[in-house]
C-alpha cells in the first residue's frame, strides 16, 4: 500500500498552511514526539502503521532505516517533500530532514546529465535557469551541494568532458550571474530581499550559505584547469582535470573585476549580523571561506592594475576590517589573515600587492582596546612586512606612535595578558629585521620595549 507523509511541527502545536492542502494525500498532525526534532510521519492511505523520520531516528538507525529507504526510493514521495521547501512556515524543518537523508538519485542524475545539455539549456527561459534558481534558496542549496560533491570527488565525477562541457555551454556564466544577483539581492533573485526582510537568523544563514556554495562551485570548476595556480588554503579536488586553459579562459572572459566588486561586500555582510548561534557562525565561516577561495583564484589571473583598483576600493578596505577585526570568531579572523597573506603570493606583482595590503592595514590599525581580537591583524602584518620592507614604513611609524601612548596596565589590569601589545611588538620586530627604522627610531623603540618589560614584571606578560 502506498505511503503518504505528514510533516510534524513542534510537538503539541497544531500546524496548518494553505499550500500544504494542495499537495495530494498530505495531512498535518501535531504529535508529542521528540522536542525540537523536526519529524516526518509516513503512513499508509488508511493512516495505519505509521513510521517516524527525524534526526533522532537517523542517529539511531542510520541509512538502514526503512523509512529513509522509502523516501529515497520513492521519487513521488521525495518530490512532495522537496516541494515543501517552498513553504515559508515549514521550509526550515523540511530542510533539516533533507540534510539527514542521502542525496536523492533523481537529482543526482540530473546533475550528472548536465554536461549533455545544449547551450540553450542555460539561456533565458531555459530549464537550467529554473533548476538553479535563486527564487528558492533551499532548493538552490540542495542542487549546488550535489554539483560540489560531483566536481570534488573522482568516484562520482563522470569525466573531464562533463566539467568542460558545463563551462563551455554556459553553466558557470549562469552561476556567476546568480551569485551577483543573490549577493546584491537584485536581478533574477529580486524576491530574495522580500524573503530576507522578515528573515530569522536561519534564513540569513541559508542566504549566506548559498553565496558560499556558488563561490566554491565556481572555484572548483576553474581549478580543474591544470594551468591555474592552486592556493594552498584550498583542499585539492580529485576529479579528472579539464583541458589546460579552459578555466583560465572562462575567468578572463567573464570579467573578474566586476565579479569581485560584487561578492567582496558579502564578506562584510557576513560578519555584521549580530547572531552568536551555532548556525549563524557556521554560515559565516562558509561564506568567508567560499568568497576567499574565489577571491584567491580570480586575483591570480587579474592584471595587477585592475587588481590594484579592487585592493584600494572602499569595499575591500571595509571587508578587511570586518574579517580581521569585527568577526566574533577567532578561526575566521585567522583564516582570513592566512588567505590575505597568500593572495600576495598568487598575483603577478607580489611586492605591489603586499604594498597595497600594508597601506590598507596602516589605515585600520586597531587601538589597544581590541585586545585579543587584534591577533589576526598583527599576524598578517608580520607575514607581509618581509616582502615589502619599503612599503611597510608608514605602518611601522603608526605602530610606533600607538606604542608610545599605550599603557598596558591601564588596558588590562595586573592579572591579564595584553594581547594587543604582544601583537604590536611582533609586527615592530619584523620591521626592525627589515631595516625600516633608522638608529634614532631604533633607540626610541628600545626604550619603549624596556618600559614594556618593566610593566611585564607587574603582570603576566
Each residue of 120-158: pLDDT tens digit? 887 777 788 888 888 888 889 999 999 988 887 755 556
Residue 445 has pLDDT above 50, yes or no: yes
Q: What is the mean pLDDT of residues 16-39?
A: 34
Instruction: Give yes or no: residues 11 and 158 share one domain.
Output: no
**pLDDT at residue 195 in the model:** 56
**pLDDT at residue 115 in the model:** 81
| CA–CA–CA angle 247, 249, 252 (5° rounding) | 110
Instruction: Give yes or no: residues 162 and 294 share one domain.
Output: yes
Q: Which of 277, 298, 319 is the endpoint of a domain?
A: 298
DSSP code, position 459: S
**HSE-up (13 A, CA, CB side) for residue 261:** 13
362 occurs within a structural domain: no
Q: How sure is the predictor about 67, in pLDDT bands with cuts at 50, 70 and 90? A: low
Instruction: Give which of 199, 208, 215, 216 is closest to 91, Cα–Cα.
Output: 199
Q: What is the mean pLDDT of residues 199-227?
A: 82
Q: How sure is the predictor about 311, in pLDDT bands with cuts at 50, 70 and 90? A: very high
408 occurs within a structural domain: no
Residue 459 has pLDDT above 50, yes or no: no
**pLDDT at residue 296 in the model:** 92
Instruction: Give yes or no: residues 81 and 107 share one domain.
Output: no
**pLDDT at residue 302 in the model:** 92
Q: Which of 24, 53, 86 is the endpoint of a domain?
A: 86
**HSE-up (13 A, CA, CB side) for residue 189:** 27
Q: Which domain holds residue 204?
A: 103-298
CA distance 203 to 193: 11
Q: What is the mean pLDDT of residues 102-122?
A: 84
Q: What is the mean pLDDT of residues 427-448?
A: 84
Q: How far apart are the first and last CA of the chain?
A: 73
432 occurs within a structural domain: no
In the chain, the number of structural domains is 2
Residue 273 and residue 204 in contact, taking contact as beta carbons nearer than 8 Å? yes
Instruction: Please list, in sequence order, all residues whose beta carbon lies within 8 angstroms of the beta carbon of residue 39, skipping any fewer than 6 positions away.
Output: 7, 8, 31, 33, 52, 53, 54, 56, 97
Residue with the bigger pLDDT between 321 and 117: it is 321
Q: Which residue has the cell 611597510?
A: 392
Report the DSSP beta bridge partners of residue 5. 42
Instruction: Give yes or no: residues 173 and 282 share one domain.
Output: yes
Q: What is the mean pLDDT of residues 59-81?
A: 58
**pLDDT at residue 325 in the model:** 92
Q: Which of 298, 329, 354 is the endpoint of a domain?
A: 298
Q: How sure is the predictor about 44, in pLDDT bands with cuts at 50, 70 and 90? A: very low
Residue 142 and residue 226 in contact, taking contact as beta carbons nearer than 8 Å? no
Q: How sure is the predictor about 61, in pLDDT bands with cuts at 50, 70 and 90? A: very low
Instruction: Give yes or no: residues 61 and 115 share one domain.
Output: no
Instruction: Give yes or no: residues 154 and 253 share one domain.
Output: yes
**HSE-up (13 A, CA, CB side) for residue 117:** 22
Q: How many CB atoms lie within 10 A of CB 435?
A: 10
Residue 10 has pLDDT above 50, yes or no: no
Cell digits for 74?
A: 520513492
Q: What percent of the chain has pLDDT over 90?
A: 21
Residue 212 has pLDDT above 60, yes or no: yes
**pLDDT at residue 461 in the model:** 43
Residue 270 has pLDDT above 60, yes or no: yes
**pLDDT at residue 219 in the model:** 92
Q: How sure is the predictor about 9, in pLDDT bands with cuts at 50, 70 and 90? A: very low
Instruction: Give yes or no: residues 245 and 214 share one domain.
Output: yes
Q: How sure is the predictor about 8, in pLDDT bands with cuts at 50, 70 and 90? A: very low
CA distance 388 to 438: 17
**pLDDT at residue 342 in the model:** 92
Backbone angles phi, psi at 45, to 5 degrees: -65, -20
Instruction: Give Cα 268 to chain centroid, integer Å.
Output: 12
Q: How sure is the predictor about 458, in pLDDT bands with cuts at 50, 70 and 90? A: very low
Q: Which residue has the cell 580581521?
A: 324
Instruction: Give yes or no: residues 30 and 140 share one domain.
Output: no
Residue 104 has pLDDT above 80, yes or no: yes
189 occurs within a structural domain: yes
Residue 32 has pLDDT above 70, yes or no: no
Instruction: Please list, in sequence order, all residues whose beta carbon lies within 8 angstroms of the beta carbon of residue 226, skipping any fewer than 6 positions away.
Output: 241, 244
Residue 432 has pLDDT above 60, yes or no: yes
7 occurs within a structural domain: yes
Instruction: Give yes or no: residues 115 and 195 share one domain.
Output: yes
Helix or strand run (H / E) with residue 4: strand 3-8
Mean of all residue pLDDT scores within the chain: 74
Instruction: Give yes or no: residues 257 and 119 share one domain.
Output: yes
Helix or strand run (H / E) with residue 27: strand 27-29
Instruction: Give yes or no: residues 109 and 239 share one domain.
Output: yes
Instruction: Give yes or no: residues 28 and 159 share one domain.
Output: no
CA distance 75 to 106: 7
Largest alpha-carbon pair distance within the chain?
Answer: 91
Amino acid at each position: 500500500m502506498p505511503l503518504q507523509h505528514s510533516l510534524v511541527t513542534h510537538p503539541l502545536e497544531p500546524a496548518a498552511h494553505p499550500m500544504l492542502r494542495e499537495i495530494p494525500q498530505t495531512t498535518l498532525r501535531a504529535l508529542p514526539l521528540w522536542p525540537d526534532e523536526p519529524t516526518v510521519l509516513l503512513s499508509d492511505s488508511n493512516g495505519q502503521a505509521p513510521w517516524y523520520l527525524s534526526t533522532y531516528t537517523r542517529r539511531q538507525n542510520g541509512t538502514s532505516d526503512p523509512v529513509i529507504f522509502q523516501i529515497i526510493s520513492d521519487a513521488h514521495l521525495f518530490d512532495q517533500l522537496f516541494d515543501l521547501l517552498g513553504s515559508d512556515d515549514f521550509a526550515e524543518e523540511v530542510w533539516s530532514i533533507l540534510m539527514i537523508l542521502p542525496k536523492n538519485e533523481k537529482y543526482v542524475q540530473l546533475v550528472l546529465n548536465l554536461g549533455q545539455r545544449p547551450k540553450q539549456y542555460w539561456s533565458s527561459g531555459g530549464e537550467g535557469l529554473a533548476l538553479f534558481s535563486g527564487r528558492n534558496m533551499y532548493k538552490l542549496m540542495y542542487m549546488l551541494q550535489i554539483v560540489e560533491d560531483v566536481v570534488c570527488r573522482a568516484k562520482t565525477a563522470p569525466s573531464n568532458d562533463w566539467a568542460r562541457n558545463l563551462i563551455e555551454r554556459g553553466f558557470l556564466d549562469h552561476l556567476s550571474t546568480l551569485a551577483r544577483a543573490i549577493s546584491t539581492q537584485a536581478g533574477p533573485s529580486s524576491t530574495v530581499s522580500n524573503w530576507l526582510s522578515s528573515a530569522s537568523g536561519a534564513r540569513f544563514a541559508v542566504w549566506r550559505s548559498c553565496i558560499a556554495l556558488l563561490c566554491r562551485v565556481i572555484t572548483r570548476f576553474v581549478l580543474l584547469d591544470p594551468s591555474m595556480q592552486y592556493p594552498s588554503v584550498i583542499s585539492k579536488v580529485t576529479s579528472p582535470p579539464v583541458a589546460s586553459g579552459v578555466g583560465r579562459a572562462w575567468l578572463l572572459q567573464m570579467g573578474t573585476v566586476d565579479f569581485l566588486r560584487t561578492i567582496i561586500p558579502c564578506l562584510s555582510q557576513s560578519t555584521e549580523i549580530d547572531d552568536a548561534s551555532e548556525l549563524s557562525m557556521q554560515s559565516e565561516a562558509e561564506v568567508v571561506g567560499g568568497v576567499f577561495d574565489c577571491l584567491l583564484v580570480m586575483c591570480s589571473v587579474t592584471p595587477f592594475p585592475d587588481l590594484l583598483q579592487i585592493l584600494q576600493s572602499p569595499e575591500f578596505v571595509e571587508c578587511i576590517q570586518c574579517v580581521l577585526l569585527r568577526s566574533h570568531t577567532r578561526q575566521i579572523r585567522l583564516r582570513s589573515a592566512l588567505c590575505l597573506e597568500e593572495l600576495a603570493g598568487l598575483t603577478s606583482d607580489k611586492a605591489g600587492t603586499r604594498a597595497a595590503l600594508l597601506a590598507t592595514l596602516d589605515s585600520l590599525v586597531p587601538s589597544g582596546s581590541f585586545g585579543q581580537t587584534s591577533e589576526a591583524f598583527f599576524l598578517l602584518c608580520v607575514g607581509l612586512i618581509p616582502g615589502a620592507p619599503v612599503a611597510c614604513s608608514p605602518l611601522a611609524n603608526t605602530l610606533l606612535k600607538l606604542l608610545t601612548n599605550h599603557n598596558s596596565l591601564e588596558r588590562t589590569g595586573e592579572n591579564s595578558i595584553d594581547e594587543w601589545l604582544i601583537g604590536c611588538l611582533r609586527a615592530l620586530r619584523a620591521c626592525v629585521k627589515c631595516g625600516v627604522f633608522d638608529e634614532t627610531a631604533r633607540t626610541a623603540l628600545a626604550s619603549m620595549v624596556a618600559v614594556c618589560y618593566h610593566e611585564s614584571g607587574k603582570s603576566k606578560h
